[in-house]
């Protein structure tokens, strides 16, 4: 009977362990803040929208037709395309030391005020010191809505293509 009692106690311990595991899970309020939805239909071309997602600024930029026409393949590959519209969606932190670059709508590029790094309108670094392009956050598209924090098929495709490290 000693063994049987041990087994019953063991079941209780497993139950308690499960409760302990659950106590360490991210809280619902934290999880809710982990997903941000952006309505892309309200975006105005060549006007930068800054959203906040998991404590980070997210740049959303709808491009004008002229901007799209002038783009290279590498730049196109980083765009989210819905219908004919191209959107840039990047984490708005300079990959050098994490400052937040500013958008220059006349030149269609980003300038980081801290150390003078520059990025084009697709987030590709064009002037040192930043070592790499702006980071693309995990996203999913449903219709005109962008959900940040979830990996949709478009995101996975970019990942497979090696655009997202």
Partner 1 sequence: MAHFEKAKSLNEWFDQRLGVNTLNRVLAKEYWIPKDINFLWAMGMVLAITFGILLVSGIFLLMYYQPNVDLAFDSVNYTIMQEVGYGWLWRHVHAVAASVVFLIIYIHMFTGIYYGSYKKGRELIWISGMLLFVAFSAEAFSGYMLPWGQMSYWAGMVITNLFSMGSLEMNGVVEWIRGDYVPAQAFLDRFFMLHVLLIPIVILLLIGIHFGALRLPHVNNQNGEEIDFEVEAEKYRSGNKAASKVIAFANDFMAKDMFVVAVFLVFFFYLVFWNFGFAMDPVNFDPADGLVTPAHIYPEWYFLWSYEILRPFSKDIGLIAFAFAQVIFFLLPFLDRSPNAVPASRRGLFNIWFWVMLVDLIVLTAMGKLPPEGIYSTIGYVAALVFIALWIALPIITKLEKKL
Partner 2 sequence: MKELFILAVVTFFSLLTYWLVEPFAHGQMHAHVDSKSFAYADLPALTKQGDATRGADTFMAGGCIGCHNVKALGMETGMSAKDAAAAYGVNPPDLSNAGAIYDAKFLADLIKNPAHAMSVEHKFDDMHPHPMPAFYGAGGEDIDQEIADMVAYMQSIAVKAEEVTPKMAFEDACGRCHAVRYTKWTQLGEMPNFKYKKDELRFQADVLDAQDAVKAYMGKLPPDLSMYIRSRNEHFLSTFIEDPQSHLHGTAMPRVGVTAHASEQVIEYMKMAGDPLAADRDEIGKNVMIYMIFFVLFAYLWKRQIWKDLH
Q: Which residues are at the interface with partner 1 (CB under 8 A)?
A: 21, 24-27, 30, 34, 54-57, 93, 97-100
DSSP string, 69-98: HT--HHHHHTSEEETTEEEEEEE-S-TTT-
Site size for partner 2 (CB under 8 A)? 8
- Size (the chain), residues: 165
**Interface residue with partner 2, options 45, 68, 77, 99 (CB under 8 A):** 99
Q: Which does 113 bind (CB under 5 to 8 A by kind): partner 2, partner 1, none?
A: partner 2
Q: Which residues contact 160 (CB under 8 A, 6 or more apart)?
A: none
For partner 2, the closer CB: 115 or 157: 115
Shortest Å, Cβ 125 to partner 1: 16
The verdict on 7 binding partner 2 (CB under 8 A) reads no
Task: Select from 10, 76, 116, 157 the one that contacts partner 2 (CB under 8 A).
Answer: 116
Q: Which of 122, 75, 86 is nearest to 103 (CA)?
A: 122
Residues 45 and 33: their CA atoms lie apart, in Å, by 27
Cβ atoms of 94 and 100 within 8 Å: the answer is yes
Residue 57 found at the interface with partner 2 (CB under 8 A)? no
């Amino acid at each position: 009977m000693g063994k049987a009692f041990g087994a019953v106690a063991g079941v209780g311990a497993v139950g308690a362990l499960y409760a302990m595991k659950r106590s360490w899970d991210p809280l619902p309020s934290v999880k809710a803040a982990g997903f941000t939805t952006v309505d892309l239909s309200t975006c105005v071309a060549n006007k930068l929208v800054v959203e906040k997602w998991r404590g980070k600024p997210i740049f959303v930029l709808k491009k004008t037709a002229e901007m799209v026409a002038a783009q290279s393949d590498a730049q196109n590959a980083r765009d989210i395309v819905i219908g004919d519209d191209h959107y840039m969606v990047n984490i708005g932190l300079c990959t050098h030391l994490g400052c937040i670059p500013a958008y220059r709508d006349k030149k269609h590029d980003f300038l980081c005020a801290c150390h003078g790094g520059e990025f084009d309108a697709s987030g590709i670094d064009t002037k040192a010191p930043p070592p790499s392009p702006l980071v693309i956050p995990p996203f999913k598209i449903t219709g005109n809505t962008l959900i940040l924090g979830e990996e949709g098929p478009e995101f996975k495709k970019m990942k497979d293509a090696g655009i997202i490290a």
